[in-house]
A and B are shown apart, each in its own frame.
Chain A
């Protein structure tokens, strides 16, 4: 019954939105083809863009979007007229010069877009953001209550709480996080390193600067946490860790805000788990005063190698898709929207707290991706005890230097 009600409500909302849309979004010709990642918020945006009349709107939403977008936008005319990207992946598109500045289009069609949604690089608008994301603490209120501890605010407190939970015999491995070797593990390193007050590069250069005592402290803290994780942690990405959470095996987890809704809904876990799942601000570490997390936005771009007509059509369709009418009861909790009219819910408390507590955004540097890959390939050797922290940091540095030299960022 509940499901039927929900579906009916959703269908009604969609029909209402669609009928409202035909009135609002009509474009005089052009082609729109969107490539982007696949999760509910992006599906909502693509579906809203498809409501526009007068244009053909296609969308290719896939987890492999990053391997397709540069190639799909390099041709002339480009296959994709828009790529939905995040602050890490827009860099590859800027490096390859396949997206166009949007200033003129904003002036003509986007006067209603609030300034905070415009992503500018060197004064030029390159993307329009529509949602924010960050990794924060997710915790089980009942388990913490059982051991009589407050919600941890630092990783040091997480270690204390984890030991207490283990000692009380509630859970064998109470800590979780996306520690899968590769991109996820490197991202955890980035978070923890920023939390220790570290700088990835010497300011203004591509010269790497992680091989220092902050880097060592970062690795040591990561290793201390893994002592309280499922032994398979190097194979647990966000999906794997979320599954552990829903199975009730984890009580303290570092997780993406965009996944909070899935963890807190009544699907996939026992009431005891989902009713007690709460999100809090990102954790601190050491005494730097900077949270050990990064802020992310997701936004859309417009391809460079397409006709002005297609670019205008793409801009209008997507500007419509991220306008306030997209928000309704179904879509409101899918993300922390940057769109006017967004009303925060409990699931988004973590991300909002991350913004409020001064978390740094993930750096939009042309060579950050190279460092991310180099870290992801090398950190596991330290966590599995194959080598020292100093050796791991030296390996990351050497792997990055070789890649950055090949890409022409250092000589």
Chain B
């Protein structure tokens, strides 16, 4: 391809990527290095239907002048990244020095919001990603062997969890695991413990969030693998059958090697998706037991006073986290490409 035609060919997508991906990231990174101005507060008397009280208020004229002088706010460098609500270098160092053994250090670490969120996010990603791939693969194999007439409806029902909006899907599960819901009551009956409550226990809440994650994402893996199954060479399969290979052996030695590049693809997408787990935590009202990096960003922006810089810093840390997580897969893809 000529350089000029290549240029014109990629120009629209480059512009869109710059506008919708690159610039927002630049803006978020910039925001994370600035804090608000030192606030000028004044004592004022506030009056209303319940009488008057002495309170403080932001002095607008003084603040307007400060804003005029430095519209971005005060430059803070890495101050927000290292404060207690993020990487908490000072607190981690103190915990290390004062810790009575590693478990104690772990407990202190889990008391810091960023590490607490990171711990759940990583556990969720590490558990949900492989389970999604395995479950999706087995659904695909099963659906592929269903009679032709039944295939359409089976595929439709297998895709439902992905079609249902995450917020609605998790709300449905949330009601089902309620102590008076069908799953919650069932669990109480199974364990013979009338006081068992999924929503009150951190461990069960984590399990429920992960079960939801697998349930919601498995159809995606299923669709990809199912498409891949349609391209398996039937000649190879038939000759394996002639050679006397069992069904399992055919899957193990013919189908799996054929689908392996797709596993990399699904893993890549799922790692990114699971690392930014968010909706189930909101729907399950699980923030007392589990928080994720995305939830931390939402929490910063959802309060009465928006913490823009704090949310920006957490966003940048999330991007870095995803980059680290994806690097093995990306390196692998690059090597494969290089070999060719």
By a beta-carbon cutoff of 8 Å, the part of chain A in contact with chain B is 66-67, 70, 87-89, 91-92, 94-95, 97, 116-123, 129, 132, 180-182, 203-206, 230-235, 237, 295, 297, 338, 355, 361, 363-370, 372-373, 377, 380-381, 383-384, 387, 391, 395, 398-399, 401-403, 405-409, 411
Picked from A297, A399, A406, the residue with its CB within 8 Å of the CB of B36 is: A406
Nearest Cβ distance between residue B87 and chain A, in whole angstroms? 11
**If the complex has contacts A232-B197, A234-B200, are A181 and B287 also in contact, measured as CB distance less than 8 A?**
yes
Task: Kindly list chain A residues whose C-beta atoms are within 8 Å of the C-beta of B45.
Answer: 120, 122-123
Taking a contact as CB atoms under 8 Å apart, the answer to whether B49 and A406 are in contact is no
CA–CA, A47 and B74, complex, Å? 44
Taking a contact as CB atoms under 8 Å apart, the answer to whether B285 and A234 are in contact is yes
- Which residue in chain A gives the minimum CB-CB distance to B63? A97
CA–CA, A391 and B110, complex, Å? 13
**If the complex has contacts A116-B49, A231-B195, are A369 and B41 also in contact, measured as CB distance less than 8 A?**
no
Taking a contact as CB atoms under 8 Å apart, the answer to whether B83 and A406 are in contact is yes
Picked from B51, B285, B304, B306, the residue with its CB within 8 Å of the CB of A88 is: B304
Task: Kindly list chain B residues whose C-beta atoms are within 8 Å of the C-beta of A129.
Answer: 48-49
5 pairs, A vs B, C-beta closer than 8 Å: A97-B60, A116-B48, A120-B48, A123-B45, A205-B56
Taking a contact as CB atoms under 8 Å apart, the answer to whether B202 and A384 are in contact is yes
Taking a contact as CB atoms under 8 Å apart, the answer to whether A373 and B299 are in contact is yes
B57 on the interface (CB 8 Å rule)? yes
Task: Kindly list chain B residues whose C-beta atoms are within 8 Å of the C-beta of A206.
Answer: 41, 56
B42 on the interface (CB 8 Å rule)? yes
Task: Kindly list chain A residues whose C-beta atoms are within 8 Å of the C-beta of B80.
Answer: 406
By a beta-carbon cutoff of 8 Å, the part of chain B in contact with chain A is 35-39, 41-51, 53-58, 60, 63-64, 74, 76, 80, 83-85, 91, 111, 113, 178-179, 195, 197, 199-200, 202, 284-289, 299, 301-307, 309-310
Picked from A89, A117, A234, A403, the residue with its CB within 8 Å of the CB of B310 is: A403
Taking a contact as CB atoms under 8 Å apart, the answer to whether A231 and B305 are in contact is no
Task: Kindly list chain B residues whose C-beta atoms are within 8 Å of the C-beta of A118.
Answer: 47-48
Taking a contact as CB atoms under 8 Å apart, the answer to whether A204 and B50 are in contact is no
Picked from B35, B42, B64, B113, the residue with its CB within 8 Å of the CB of A122 is: B42
Task: Kindly list chain A residues whose C-beta atoms are within 8 Å of the C-beta of B51.
Answer: 361
A116-B49, A120-B47, A364-B53 known; 17 other A-B pairs, CB under 8 Å? A122-B46, A123-B44, A129-B49, A206-B56, A232-B179, A234-B288, A234-B289, A365-B55, A365-B56, A367-B305, A370-B303, A377-B113, A399-B113, A403-B305, A406-B83, A406-B309, A411-B38
CA–CA, A406 and B306, complex, Å? 11
CA–CA, A180 and B289, complex, Å? 12
CA–CA, A377 and B199, complex, Å? 17
Nearest Cβ distance between residue B111 and chain A, in whole angstroms? 6
Task: Kindly list chain B residues whose C-beta atoms are within 8 Å of the C-beta of A409.
Answer: 39, 41
Taking a contact as CB atoms under 8 Å apart, the answer to whether A117 and B49 are in contact is yes
Taking a contact as CB atoms under 8 Å apart, the answer to whether A380 and B288 are in contact is yes
Picked from A122, A230, A373, the residue with its CB within 8 Å of the CB of B57 is: A122
**If the complex has contacts A95-B58, A363-B55, are A121 and B111 also in contact, measured as CB distance less than 8 A?**
no
Task: Kindly list chain B residues whose C-beta atoms are within 8 Å of the C-beta of A297.
Answer: 48-50
Taking a contact as CB atoms under 8 Å apart, the answer to whether B302 and A405 are in contact is no
Task: Kindly list chain A residues whose C-beta atoms are within 8 Å of the C-beta of B74.
Answer: 408
Task: Kindly list chain A residues whose C-beta atoms are within 8 Å of the C-beta of B83.
Answer: 402, 405-406
- Which residue in chain B gives the minimum CB-CB distance to A122? B44
- Which residue in chain B gives the minimum CB-CB distance to A407? B36
CA–CA, A401 and B83, complex, Å? 10
Nearest Cβ distance between residue A346 and chain B, in whole angstroms? 21
Task: Kindly list chain A residues whose C-beta atoms are within 8 Å of the C-beta of B49.
Answer: 116-117, 129, 132, 297, 338
Task: Kindly list chain A residues whose C-beta atoms are within 8 Å of the C-beta of B200.
Answer: 231-234, 384
CA–CA, A205 and B76, complex, Å? 23
- Which residue in chain B gives the minimum CB-CB distance to A66? B304
Picked from B56, B304, B310, the residue with its CB within 8 Å of the CB of A92 is: B304
Task: Kindly list chain A residues whose C-beta atoms are within 8 Å of the C-beta of B64.
Answer: 97
**If the complex has contacts A122-B46, A338-B49, A406-B35, are A234 and B199 also in contact, measured as CB distance less than 8 A?**
yes
Taking a contact as CB atoms under 8 Å apart, the answer to whether B303 and A373 are in contact is yes
Taking a contact as CB atoms under 8 Å apart, the answer to whether A403 and B60 are in contact is no
Taking a contact as CB atoms under 8 Å apart, the answer to whether B179 and A231 are in contact is yes
